[in-house]
Structure 1
Amino acid sequence: MSEVEPGHQKPPVYESKDVNESPHSDVESAEGKIAPLHRNLHNRHMQMIAIGGAIGAGLFVNTGAALRAGGPGSLLICYLIVGFMLLQTMWALGELAVMYPVNGAYFDYSLRFLDPSWGFAMGWDYAINWLVILPFEITAAGLTIRYWRDDLNIGIWIAVFLTVLSVIQVFGVRGYGEVEFILSIIKVTALTGFIILGIVIDCGGAPVGGYIGGKYWHNPGAFTDFVGFCSVFTTAAFAFGGTEMSGLAAAESANPAKSIPKACKQVFWRIMLFYVIGTLIVGLIVPHDADYLLNASGAGNTSYSPFVVSIKNAGISGLPSVMNVVITLSVISVANSATFGSTRTIQAMAEKGMAPKFFAYIDKHGRPIYCVLLQIAFGFLAFINEASSGSQIFTWLLALSGISNFFVWGSVCLAHIRFRAAWKYNGRSTDELAYVAPWGVYGSYIGLGLNILCLIAEFYVSVQPLDVQAFFENYLAAPIVIALYAFWRIYSAWTKDPTVEKRGWKLWRSVDEIDVFTGIRDTALDVDLAPRVKYDTWGEWVKALPMRLLRSIA
């Protein structure tokens, strides 16, 4: 039996119609002659985007609310489940992104391998998600300052952070990459330090508190109730949201066939080290019935973050302020990612005629400038906090993004399944792929199934109060996705626009309709790829496993 280790291999050179293939030539768009996106993200950028880019308020602050709702056992189990699900998604996304490093990755893959209507729904769902997260993260960044100065109006800090983000956009994708590289290093270093410190606090090495051990798992307990357990899935999805950004960045990566597989490997260690071990430590040193956790939410004062309060309660001076600085920088980092995620998706949709045509424009510096202006305009929604009803408005804005990650991640897994079916239908082998998902199509089936289970769990939580408002606050993204899908179905059926694909009422593309060759990355642009390794027997594969795991860290 022959087993192929997931890795790199130069596939045959196919004709590529990817407009981003040449970083120097201009391309035609609906708005005239424009410059393509620039491939200015290098390996170090992709590595840090993967390992630390999405760590923000979802982990540092919202973890407290999840701990309160479900208990430390629920927190650990749900983060493990969502982390494992996301790992399968990232492997699938890595295979697709290396093969097709096109702008608007998730949107394009749903469009190409599933159905245009579903692609339209996923593209706008993802874009809306990041459009509304930006003002939320800017608000959260402003509120972190209250830890030191609660006498200053939050509008001051919203203006400051919005200005900083606007300046970053001037430098295009290189600015995004450099900012994420620096901030991710800070976040990774701080979280590593917190885990070590948390172990010391739990073992009784802190000035105050003494030995804790597993006491809080017994009293007040590891779990609250089943509804609390299910509710943690949404918090976990929000905390993990943005991990998929490295796939979106493939279109602007200098060498996706080399950097993306490495970035996908780093996701495993980020999930295990920062999310799983980090939340385990929090659950050990913070009781889930602590009163201050009632105020722990993404837009709340970080004075109630379990990462900050646990250090303060241990009698350690100075470090709580340091952790609060890290949280502030983390929130700015996620806001920066929000701008990147929405602008690239909207620009890709405009090129396909699924968004206003002027959004397709890219200037000579590789910036989708009109998309950036739209995202910055959404940032001004953060000033809603100045209104008396600001918190309620924000609740509804965030409802738009509540469960959208599950739809996007599930679509990536399903697109990978359909890609493999079409690839096989065209007589192609996985040996021809530059990168192969370690668990193959089976991992995508697992990822898709877990995404569906998480949606069911959140639906169960949403209908428990038997309150219409509570249901839509938790589950609004679902009817939005259905409405977007139905809209494009109806529009494409009745429009006379010749550029819109007419598909009737077919559920999805059959394998013979799927184009697996357009947009394939020209292998002449992929350099210094490590050779693929083949194993003749399963025994050899198992024997080589320790060394492969060590290589995956690098």
Structure 2
Amino acid sequence: MAETNENTIQHELKTRHVSMIALGGSIGTGLFLTSGASVSQAGPFGAILAYLIIGIMVYFLMTSLGEMATFAPTSGSFAEYGNRFVDPAFGFALGWNYWFNWAITLAVDTVTVGLVAQFWLPDVPSWIFSAIALFLIFLINLFSVSTFGETEFWLSLIKVVTICFFLFIGVLAIFGIIHSNTDVVRNLSVGQHGFVGGWQGVLSVFVVAGFSFQGTELIGITAGEAKDPRKSVPKAIHSVFWRILLFYIGAIFVISALVYYQDPRLMSAADSGNVMMSPFTIVFKNAGIAFAASLMNAVILTSVLSAANSGTYASTRTLYSLAKKGQAPKIFGRLTKHGVPWASLLLTMCVGLVAFTSEMKGGNVVYGWLVAASGLTGFLAWMGIAIAHLRFRKAYVAQGNDVNDLPYKAKWFPFGPIFALFMSLVVIFLQDPEAFAHWEWDKIAVTYLSVPIFVIPYLGYKWSKKTKVIPLQDVDLTGKNK
């Protein structure tokens, strides 16, 4: 594959691409399938409160990332900011951890594509659909970043249109314009005025909400290839935050109003991934839309493809950033003539092939462990963003700069990143606290496998390279110290 003479990433993502990638990255099966389980666990307003708190946390993370990304736009931002503002060992561990997360996500999503496609063609082996999906994602990411951006724009738009249609139908049903025998007042007032299980119920939904919002940090990755990041990133942050809150809070309210919280179908969708039990499908069918199941299956299929597409993009750019920093083999920093890190893409695709081991003897065990290993990497990335921002702002001021001169200034500093850091730790701990109460080591190992996968590379790199936390006066704000 030919390489660019400059060997630099090309800036081809438009403002609408950046906004839709960030929006689409946070809307997926977490909303379409598991939102019903949240209502069952915490009640209507308990679920809304949990998503609202996590949504605010994500907003602070996005503003933190936005401040750094507009000041120093770079592809593979998390690793780069960790390297420059905290400690090279921190950036090394953060980068490889994030690459691993999205590479495994690609494998998971390609398996899911096969299972979802069997809804229409149950007699066709699922691996055939997985192979087709993997090949298409490879082609989309191979040609140019504009091809990726345009594809992701339309895939995300399908999800957005579906949610808008769902909210429209839901409002009509709530006000009785569409025939419905649903007792809306009864559904919304269950438990203690819409709360079930008290604070424990709300806390239990934090975990689900946290996973649902993962992907919003893609805005930091896209900044390095945006045509005008100082314009597109702030615009994306503000518009995406309000749209996410509207979509999630609005959808959960509609589900709560039209489906009783103890309806067994709400839990079944989360446990089995059954599209027939999706809360969206239930509401559509109750409204008399006969093709509801096929519609939602098609939407879920596009959601999974969108996640796999975005994950491939994020992982290749992260690996590219590591290579340019000398923290990965140099070959992963080479680009095609279209500015695509081809070697990074190939390695990520190889991890995606792990999807096919689930069809082989013993493959499910390997596959299960890989999924477990990537479980908390998204939250670790969020913690990395918060820590990097705290260090960046302190270094910026310590070196005699005025924060009012920043292209984009995060609000409520330092409360924002501190709150995001604290909530990330809370969500991580809440993964399986009972396992610690009884010291069930097998559950602890599966649930928290991501943590040592971050810590061990961090300590190993720190020991081998003798790195230290960078003094504030020596933090590289210009990016010239490569």
* TM-score, normalization by structure 2: 0.91
Q: What residue number does 1:119 align with?
A: 91
Q: Which residue of 1 aligns with 2:307?
A: 334
Corresponding residue number in structure 2 for 1:515: 476
> 2:374 maps to which residue?
401
Are 2:409 and 1:448 equivalent residues in the alignment?
Answer: no
Q: 2 CA distance for matches of 1:367 and 1:393?
A: 30
Instruction: Give the one of 58, 62, 77 matched to 1:105.
Output: 77
TM-superposition CA deviations, 1:347-367 (whole Å, max 9, x none): 111111212221111122101
Distance 1:170 1:151, change over 3 A: same
Residue of structure 1 aligned with 2:139, choices 131, 153, 167? 167
Aligned to 2:118, what secondary structure does the other structure show? helix
In 2, the alpha carbon distance for the partners of 1:298 and 1:191 equals 22
Which moved further from structure 2: 439-448 or 343-352? 439-448
Q: How does 1:346-365 map to 2 (within 5 A)?
A: 346-365=319-338
Q: Deviation digits for residues 146-199 of structure 1, max 9, x if unmatched?
A: 333333321221122112212212322111100111112221111111112223
Q: 1:106 to 1:44 in 2, by over 3 A?
A: same
> Could you say which residue in structure 2 is the equivalent of 1:267?
240
8 Å CA contact retained: 1:234, 1:403: no
Letter in 2 for 1:55: I
Residue 12 of structure 1: aligned partner = none
| Equivalent residue letter for 1:516 | L
Question: Alpha carbon RMSD of aligned pairs, Å?
Answer: 2.5
Count of aligned pairs between the two proteins? 478
State the SS of the aligned residue for 2:414. Answer: helix
1:147 aligns to what SS in structure 2?
A: coil
Which residue is 1:47 aligned to? 19
Is contact 1:234-1:402 (8 Å) kept? Answer: no
**Offset at 1:401?**
2.5
Provide the residue aligned with 2:150 in structure 1.
Answer: 178
Does the CA contact (< 8 Å) of 1:139 and 1:299 recur in 2? Answer: no
In 1, the alpha carbon distance for the partners of 2:190 and 2:39 equals 14
| 1:56–1:239 Cα contact (<8 Å) kept | yes
Give identity over the alignment, percent: 35
State the Cα distance separating 1:224 from its structure 2 match: 4.1
Show the 5 A alignment for 1:67-466.
67-215=39-187, 217-218=189-190, 222-224=195-197, 229-297=202-270, 300-387=273-360, 391-458=364-431, 460=433, 462-464=435-437, 466=439
C-alpha separation in 2, matches of 1:277 and 1:332: 24
CA apart distance, 1:466: 4.2
Secondary structure of 1:296's partner? helix
1:95-121 alpha-carbon deviations (Å, 9 max, x no partner): 100110112101111111111111111
Determine if contact 1:47/1:262 at 8 Å carries over to the other structure.
yes
Q: How much does 1:321 deviate?
A: 2.0
CA distance change for structure 1 residues 488 and 225 in 2, over 3 Å: closer, same or farther? farther
Any conservation in 1 of the 2:11–2:225 contact (CA below 8 Å)? yes
CA distance in 2, matches of 1:401, 1:271: 24
Q: Is the 8 A contact 1:362 1:368 kept in 2?
A: yes
**Superposition map of 1:519-534 within 5 A:** none
Q: Is the 8 A contact 2:398 2:473 kept in 1?
A: yes
CA–CA distance in 2 between the matches of 1:77 and 1:139?
33
Aligned-partner SS, 2:184: coil
Give the whole-Å Cα distance in 2 for the aligned partners of 1:355 and 1:146: 39
Instruction: In structure 2, list runs of 5 or more residues that go unmatched.
Output: none
Structure whose alpha-carbon radius of gyration is higher: 1
Aligned mates of 2:159, 2:447 — CA distance in 1:
29
Q: Deviations over 1:15-71 (max 9, x none)?
A: xxxxxxxxx9844xxxxxxx2111010112112112223322222123344444444
Quick check: 1:293–1:305 contact (8 Å CA) kept in 2? yes
Q: Structure 1: how far apart are the matches of 2:186 and 2:474?
A: 56
Please say which of residues 177-186 and 58-67 is displaced more in the overlay: 58-67
Alignment partners' CA distance in 2, 1:76 and 1:144: 28
User: Counterpart of 2:390 in 1: which secondary structure?
Assistant: helix
Q: Aligned in 2, Cα 1:219/1:125: closer, same or farther, shift over 3 Å?
A: same
Is residue 140–residue 299 contact of structure 1 (8 Å, CA) maintained in 2? no
Q: Counterpart amino acid of 1:142?
A: G
Matched AA of 2:318:
T
User: Conserved in 2, the CA contact under 8 Å of 1:61 and 1:298?
Assistant: no
CA–CA separation in structure 2 for the residues paired with 1:187 and 1:391: 30
Change (3 A) 1:70 1:311: same
> C-alpha separation between the residues in 2 aligned to 1:196 and 1:464?
45
Instruction: Say if 1:293 and 1:147 are closer, same or farther in 2 by CA, change over 3 A.
Output: farther
1:54, 1:337 within 8 Å by CA — same for their partners in 2? no
Deviates more, 1:445-454 or 1:76-85: 445-454
Residue 476 of structure 1 pairs with residue 449 of structure 2: yes
The alignment partner of 1:380 has SS state of helix
Q: How many Å separate the matches in 2 of 1:374 and 1:334?
A: 18
* CA separation of 1:357 and 1:315: change in aligned 2, threshold 3 A: same
The secondary structure found in structure 2 opposite 1:243 is: coil
In 2, are the aligned partners of 1:60 and 1:307 still within 8 Å (CA)? yes
> 1:421–1:210: structure 2 CA closer, same or farther, 3 Å change rule?
closer
Q: Compute the displacement of 1:314 (Å).
A: 4.2
Q: Determine the C-alpha separation between the residues in 1 that align with 2:286 and 2:195.
A: 21
Tell whether the 8 Å contact from 1:205 to 1:211 is kept in structure 2 after alignment: no
- C-alpha distance in 1 between matches for 2:364 and 2:257: 32
The CA deviation at 1:226 is 5.9
User: How many Å apart are 1:461 and its aligned residue?
Assistant: 5.1
Q: Report the 3-state secondary structure (helix = DSSP H, G, I; strand = E; otherwise coil) of the residue aligned with 1:280.
A: helix
SS state at 1:440 partner: coil
Higher deviation after alignment, 121-130 or 308-317? 308-317
Does the CA contact (< 8 Å) of 2:187 and 2:259 recur in 1?
Answer: no
Q: Counterpart of 1:170 in 2: which secondary structure?
A: helix
Q: Deviations over 1:239-266 (max 9, x none)?
A: 1111111111111111111111101112
Whichever residue aligns with residue 149 of structure 1, its letter is L
What is the CA distance between 1:412 and its match in structure 2? Answer: 1.1
For residues 368-417 of structure 1, give each alpha carbon's deviation from its aligned partner in whole angstroms, at most 9, with x where no partner exists. Answer: 00111111122222223324655554432222222222221122122111
1:413–1:445 Cα contact (<8 Å) kept: yes
Shift of residue 335 of structure 1?
Answer: 0.6
